[in-house]
Structure 1
């Protein structure tokens, strides 16, 4: 079973990963591999310092009108290799969207985007924006390049979170 989604009544956009890494399972929260750039990136885009604790990470997401989850509720996977995912079972994103006013979907990496398109987009009707993965395996993307691409995509949503 996947982690619980992070969301609040002010969540206007959701960021979806594919499936937690072994390090994330060990730590009990999303993007917990020390070399994953998700938290430093999101903090930089929000103009905040990188959160350390799980409550600080949740607060960062919620303060900026975002939600966070994975595409998959369950799957068979070898280590952290998205390419090895078999027997994927989607989360109940349509159920969450009945409670949360999400208007935009962002996928952290190609695997989550592909899985979202196949398993969830037909039910949600919301096309997803594919963002480059923050995983350390995506070494071809520098932090600066990630900031530029993620920043352009998330800027309107981060601003919306701050204003209301």
Structure 2
């Protein structure tokens, strides 16, 4: 068995999930190969993002169908996208990301009610701070960002209840902006 360690240049391949009523934006780094294949967010069967969100909103885990999961996100007023539009990457390894080109977050933040950004994982937070935040500030947009732990199966040290507890701030932020 040959292990490929050469990075591949990949493009994101699908757009954000959001609408004018979105209150928070949840950003990953770059979709995994499984997510790029399905053209939707957090589609690796072992990624715990959707079980976490289902637990937060006290609902069953949405079926692994982009339309169903998009409806779930919009109904609960969270937008989904990624920090990176394209990069060089080995598989799904965030630590291998090189030559990252950021997505332009300004248009959807301006056209929605997004008042808080959350990143899933350390690399997404690092790249957001370095690549996205300066561009937002240049465009007169200041929005707080909170880094959250990765829901990836690679983050095995955090169990589902721990992730759900960490992600509770997402619901609090949505609720706070909904009642204001």
Q: Same fold (TM over 0.5)?
A: yes
3-state secondary structure, aligned to 1:89: strand
Equivalent pair of 1:15/1:67 in contact (CA under 8 Å): yes
Q: 2:108 matched to which residue of 1?
A: 96
Aligned residue pairs, count: 163
Distance 1:126 1:119 in 2: 14
RMSD: 1.6
Equivalent pair of 2:115/2:177 in contact (CA under 8 Å): no
Give the ranges of 4+ consecutive aligned residues of structure 1 lying more than 2 Å apart after TM superposition: 123-127, 157-164
Q: 1:131 matched to which residue of 2?
A: 148
Unaligned runs of 5+ in 2: 1-10, 137-141
In the alignment, which of 31, 42, 50 is matched to residue 31 of structure 1?
42
Q: Greater Rg, structure 1 or structure 2? A: 2
User: What is the CA-CA distance between 1:37 and the residue it aligns to?
Assistant: 0.2
Which whole-Å deviations, capped at 9, do the CAs of 1:91-123 have from their partners, x for residues lacking one?
010122221221000000001000000001122
Unaligned runs of 5+ in 1: none
Q: 1:157 matched to which residue of 2?
A: 173
Distance 2:31 2:97 in 1: 12
User: What is the CA-CA distance between 1:162 and the residue it aligns to?
Assistant: 7.1
Equivalent pair of 1:64/1:159 in contact (CA under 8 Å): no
Relative to the length of structure 2, the TM-score reads 0.85
Equivalent pair of 2:19/2:112 in contact (CA under 8 Å): yes
In the alignment, which of 14, 17, 21 is matched to residue 6 of structure 1?
17
Equivalent pair of 1:64/1:160 in contact (CA under 8 Å): no
